[in-house]
């Protein structure tokens, strides 16, 4: 091959790389402005401020981005699903969130419930197997939120009483390997759903969400029969927000959602 031909090929390759990078930058800028608009819309609708310190407090020193991205995802996901399924919530409701981890999104969830139930106050309880590890950060984050209770314990040991208007199961539905990684005993998904549904008042809502389509879909298969499915959806937060592409943080995309009303 002549030197000229090699130079020509090299030049065209460099040009091609330059063009792909330009397109990627353009795509990122576009996605970023959609992300900013999304953040602003959610802030206005739910009276939250993502710049507030509560969206950066985290008990794992390694990733301070999690509370912010997790709150934004939770708020957008709930907003989207409630709009699509037309759910209305009663005033002064009581809610349970199963498997909260560090409850990164507690402020977002609380604000969402207040706005959607048109209430000044709501009662929000969260239970986490390893809650004792996160007590300090949750306390700081939930400071000022009335009637928020964070419990350490096994959800399977809670009394099954139909006392909540809405029960959330945000990503505790997973395959046995994930439970092993968490260090939580694995229980069959149908048992999980049955208990969760047992805690919902008649006419109340069960909101479940599984990471990844396969896990989520298998969770859906075992959804309890005593509920009427209102809505199922695949949800993924695709926008670049504050320079972060959520898809980079594995757990913040690929959500399989199911919403049911108890008979």
Residues that bind ligand SAM (CB under 6 A): 70, 99-101, 127-130, 154-156, 170-172, 182, 184
Q: Among residues 39 and 101, whose Cβ is nearest to ligand SAM? A: 101
Minimum distance, C-beta of residue 153 to ligand SAM, in the bound complex (Å): 7
Minimum distance, C-beta of residue 151 to ligand SAM, in the bound complex (Å): 9
249: helix, coil or strand? coil
Q: Among residues 171 and 262, whose Cβ is nearest to ligand SAM? A: 171
What is the DSSP-derived secondary structure letter of residue 241?
A: B
Tokens of 91: 């005033």
What is the DSSP-derived secondary structure letter of residue 49?
A: -
* Dist. CA 256–CA 263, nearest whole Å: 23
* Dist. CA 38–CA 58, nearest whole Å: 23
Q: Among residues 209 and 240, whose Cβ is nearest to ligand SAM? A: 209
Q: Among residues 34 and 145, whose Cβ is nearest to ligand SAM? A: 145
Q: Among residues 39 and 97, whose Cβ is nearest to ligand SAM? A: 97
* Dist. CA 60–CA 66, nearest whole Å: 9
Distance of CA 96 to the CA centre of its chain: 15
Give 134's contacts (C-beta < 8 A, 6+ positions apart). 59, 101, 102, 103, 128, 150
């Amino acid at each position: 091959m002549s030197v000229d031909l090699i130079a020509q090929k090299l030049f065209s390759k460099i040009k091609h790389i330059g063009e792909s990078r330009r397109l990627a930058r353009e795509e990122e800028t576009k996605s970023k402005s959609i992300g900013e608009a999304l953040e602003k819309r959610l802030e206005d609708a739910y009276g939250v401020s993502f710049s507030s310190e509560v969206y950066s407090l985290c008990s794992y020193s390694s990733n301070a981005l999690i509370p912010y991205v997790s709150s934004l995802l939770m708020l957008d996901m709930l907003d989207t699903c409630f709009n699509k399924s037309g759910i209305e919530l009663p005033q002064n409701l009581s809610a349970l969130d199963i498997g909260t981890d560090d409850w990164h999104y507690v402020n977002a969830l609380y604000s969402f419930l207040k706005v959607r139930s048109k209430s000044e106050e709501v009662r929000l309880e969260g239970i986490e197997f390893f809650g004792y590890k996160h007590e300090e950060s949750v306390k700081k984050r939930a400071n000022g939120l009335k009637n928020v209770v964070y419990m350490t314990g096994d959800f399977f040991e809670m009394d099954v009483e139909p006392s909540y208007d809405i029960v959330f199961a945000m990503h505790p539905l997973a395959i046995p390997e994930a439970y092993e990684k968490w260090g939580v005993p694995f229980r069959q998904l149908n048992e999980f759903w049955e208990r969760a549904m047992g805690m919902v008042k008649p006419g109340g809502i069960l909101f479940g969400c599984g990471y990844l389509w396969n896990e989520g879909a298998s969770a859906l298969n075992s959804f309890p029969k005593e509920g009427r499915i209102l809505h199922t959806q695949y949800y993924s937060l695709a926008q670049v927000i504050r320079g972060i592409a959520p898809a980079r943080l594995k757990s913040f995309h690929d959500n399989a959602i199911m919403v049911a009303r108890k008979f």
